[in-house]
Amino acid sequence: MRRVVTYVVLAFALSWAWWIPLAVAGVHVAPGQGWPSHLPGLLGPAIAAVVTTAVFDGRGGLRDLLRRIVRWRMRWYWWALLAGTALMAAVPLITNPSATAADYLTYSGAGQLGVFTILYVLVVNGFGEEIGWRGFLADTLLHRWSLGVTALVVGAIWALWHLPMFWVVDTFRDLGVGGTIGWVFGLLSGSVFLAWLYRGSGRSILLVALWHTAFNFTTATTAAAGVTAAVVSTVVMVVAGVILCFPSTWRRPVPEAAPQRTDLRS
């Protein structure tokens, strides 16, 4: 487990090294504010994953990580699930008809980048987090633990990693006690769903990064605030609850059989 501890410490150190100075300086990041921003700190898990993989697994491990980052070949229904999530970003057309086109792309810490906001968030928020949390941490733990245990452990670490944001990002600062409890529950549900998505898709980091980004644009933009965010988050919580009800979710992986030794002595 040395590689897991190394990864977690490095991920926290890299991200918190960006966020804590912002908190000490009294910076508050509001929706649509581009600078100063908390978003570069989201790259910490990805950088930690690459460094830890290089140290412990060498070039072979890095090649495997890269293959999973670009893995797009999977069954069609995983792509359908992604498309369905992305389409939910249009729900505010019904729930929030007064939202402007800009509201759909107003994302905390991203500034006014227009459609390029999606690409920016995909890089720093989607790949920045998922290369680490699912692509390294969950991937490592799934070799010895069940999906359920892995998802809850990763979710707990993931939640703690967000801690400095409660002093920096306005959307976190405004949660209050009840909102924070709901946020933790939602994050754990998201961890379960993403671990299930990652394993089911054949360990595709690309898919979970895209889904994470799509989910954020259905819950974290100005247009999605309120009803849309609540509905989409509730759907994920319900699905996560269903996943946890399956016995296979709690079944530990079967250890790989050791190669049989052939005794040539007679």
Q: Which amino acid is at 83?
A: A
CB-based contacts of 37, cutoff 8 Å, min separation 6: 29, 109, 110, 111
CA–CA separation, 134 and 198 (whole Å):
7
The predicted-structure confidence for 54-103, as pLDDT tens digits, reads as follows 999 999 999 999 999 999 999 999 999 999 999 988 888 888 888 888 88
Helices (H) and strands (E) in the chain, counts: 13, 0
Confidence (pLDDT) at 32: 82
Confidence (pLDDT) at 261: 42
Confidence (pLDDT) at 98: 85
Confidence (pLDDT) at 238: 97
Instruction: Tell me the domain boundaries of the chain.
Output: 2-250
Q: Look at the block and give the residue holding tokens 């190394």.
A: 6
Confidence (pLDDT) at 97: 86
The predicted-structure confidence for 203-230, as pLDDT tens digits, reads as follows 999 999 999 999 999 998 888 888 888 8
Confidence (pLDDT) at 264: 37
CA–CA separation, 189 and 174 (whole Å):
21
Confidence (pLDDT) at 44: 98
Confidence (pLDDT) at 152: 97
Q: What is the full per-residue pLDDT of the chain (266 aa) written as tens digits?
A: 899 999 999 999 999 999 999 999 999 998 888 899 999 999 999 999 999 999 999 999 999 999 999 999 999 999 999 999 999 888 888 888 888 888 898 899 998 888 899 999 999 999 999 999 999 999 999 999 999 999 999 999 999 999 999 999 998 999 999 999 999 999 999 999 999 999 999 999 999 999 999 999 999 888 888 888 888 999 999 999 999 999 999 999 977 644 444 343 43
Residue pair 86/209 in contact (Cβ under 8 Å)? The answer is no
Report CA 244 to chain centroid distance, whole Å.
18
Q: Which amino acid is at 65?
A: L
Confidence (pLDDT) at 93: 84
pTM of structure: 0.92
How is residue 25 annotated by DSSP?
A: T
CB-based contacts of 128, cutoff 8 Å, min separation 6: 42, 43, 44, 45, 46
CB-based contacts of 237, cutoff 8 Å, min separation 6: 185, 186, 189
Confidence (pLDDT) at 227: 84
Confidence (pLDDT) at 139: 97
Confidence (pLDDT) at 189: 97
